[in-house]
Structure formats: structure tokens, C-alpha cells
A and B are shown apart, each in its own frame.
Chain A
Amino acid sequence: MKSMYGDFFFVLASTTDLESESGFWVLQIIGILMGVTGLIFFLGAAVGLVRFPDFYTRMHAAGKGDTLSTMLMLGGFGLVTMEDFSLGSWLLLVKIIAVVLFIYLTSPTSSHALMRAAFEDDEMPLTEKDLKKSKKSVNK
């Protein structure tokens, strides 16, 4: 069963006559592109995390940039590590997709929990003064 599928896709890959030593080159190139895109988005999130004026705006950078960049990088690695089309590597891909789905579901939830804790906290309410302060530092 295992080797049958492997041989089938190996023949399919070798007819294009361009496969590399290990893996299927189209999937590898797509995976590398996804990983690099994820790195670029993470660069945006990291710069935003340093540069934004107050906690709530930083939360925007972290909550959004984190989700997509992690998803893209994990998906890219899932595609790069597809060395053959056997049952084991399909299972690996499904597992990585499960991690991606888990992060897709939980990242907004945890950012909402942090946001709510900060908003309800007595020391850090989002008052008008706070908003003006962050606006002033923006207009500078």
C-alpha cells in the first residue's frame, strides 16, 4: 500500500524530469515562498511591537502579525518536509495543519483575553487622556 502510492507519485514526478534529490520540487518552492512571506509579516509585527505608542496598539501588531506569520511558516515547513507521498508524510502534513488550525482558533482568543484584562484593570483603563497621549505621540 505504502510503496504503491509512493511509486505512483514518483513516476508522476519523474515524468516532469525536474525532481530534486529528496521531495517534490514544486511543493518545496511553494513552501519556501510561504516561509519567506511569513518572515516578512513577522518583521512587520516585530517592528510594530517596538514602534507603536501604547499597549493597545501594540496588541494590534502582535495579535494579527503573529497569527498569519505562524500559519504561513508552519504550512511552508509542512510542504517542504513532504519527501514522499506515503501515508506517514500525509499524516505529518495533517498534523501540521492541525497545529495551524489550533493557532488560527486560539490566537484571537488569547489576544482578546489579554485585551480584556488590560481594559478591566484599574491601573490601565483606556481613558480619554490615554488616547490623547497616544495621538500626540503619533502626531509628533
Chain B
Amino acid sequence: MTHLFAITMGAALFTLMIPVVYRIWVGPTGFDRILGVNVIGTKTAVLLVIIGTLFDRVEMFVDFAIAYALLNFVGAIVISRYLNRTISLNEMDAREKKGGAK
């Protein structure tokens, strides 16, 4: 019962990851690609718990899931910081005065 549910869930998750992979493949900008990678990363944490259920070693795989979620979060922060080019304060004020483009 549990194994059947785990296999079905894993297959469904894998199928639903295909649109996200499409977004990574054709994404017009780099940010779209990071977004897709981030989504797949959080879903991989779920997938690790599912694999743990199949192997009957959940208590071990949950630790992997924790580590993977942590790594995913840190990776998203680091990449967004790396791609971030800070603009000048004057331009920021100009954008702010414009009221955020209505």
C-alpha cells in the first residue's frame, strides 16, 4: 500500500517536472532558468523522502532531504546575489519617483 502510493507519487512528480524542465530549456533570461532549477530543487527534497520510503530507510533519507533543501536555498540566494548588478542610487530614486511604472 505505502509502496504503491510512493511509486505513483514519484512517477506523477516526475511527469509534472517536465514543464519545469521545458522552462529551464527555453527560458528567455537567466532568471527564468534559476527559477526552474529552484522549483526542481525543492521537489527533489520531496522525491528523496519518497525514495526513502521505497528503501524502508526514511530516517536516513530525511536527513538528505534537509541537507538538499538547505543547499537549494543557499544556492538560490548565492546565484541571485551573483547575478545582481547594483544600480546607482540616483537611478533608484528616479525609479521610485516614477511610482513604480503604472
Contact = CB atoms under 8 A, between A and B. Distances in A.
Q: Do chains A and B touch in the complex (CB under 8 A)?
A: yes
B35 to A, nearest CB: 5
A16 interface: no
B29 interface: yes
A70 B23 contact: no
Main secondary structure of the interface of B (DSSP, over half): helix
Contacts of B84: 116-117, 120-121
A55 B43 contact: no
Given A32-B5, A39-B9, A80-B5, A95 B62 contact: yes
Contacts of B58: 81, 92
A116 B5 contact: no
Contacts of B65: 74, 99
Contacts, number: 146
Contacts of A80: 2, 5-6, 53
Nearest to A20: B1
B31 A50 contact: no
Given A32-B5, A46-B20, A117 B80 contact: yes
B9 A73 contact: yes
Contacts of B86: 120
Interface in B22-70: 22-23, 29, 31-32, 34-36, 38-39, 42-43, 45-46, 49-50, 53, 58-59, 62-63, 65-66, 69-70
Classify chain A: how many residues form its interface, as a range.
35 or more
A107 B27 CA distance: 21
Contacts of A103: 42, 45, 69
Interface string A57-68: 011001000100
A125 B96 CA distance: 13
Contacts of A117: 31, 80-81, 83-84
9 contacts: A22-B1, A39-B9, A58-B35, A99-B45, A99-B66, A106-B73, A110-B77, A113-B76, A121-B84
Interface of B: 1-2, 5-6, 9, 12-13, 16-17, 19-20, 22-23, 29, 31-32, 34-36, 38-39, 42-43, 45-46, 49-50, 53, 58-59, 62-63, 65-66, 69-70, 73, 76-77, 80-81, 83-87, 95, 100-102
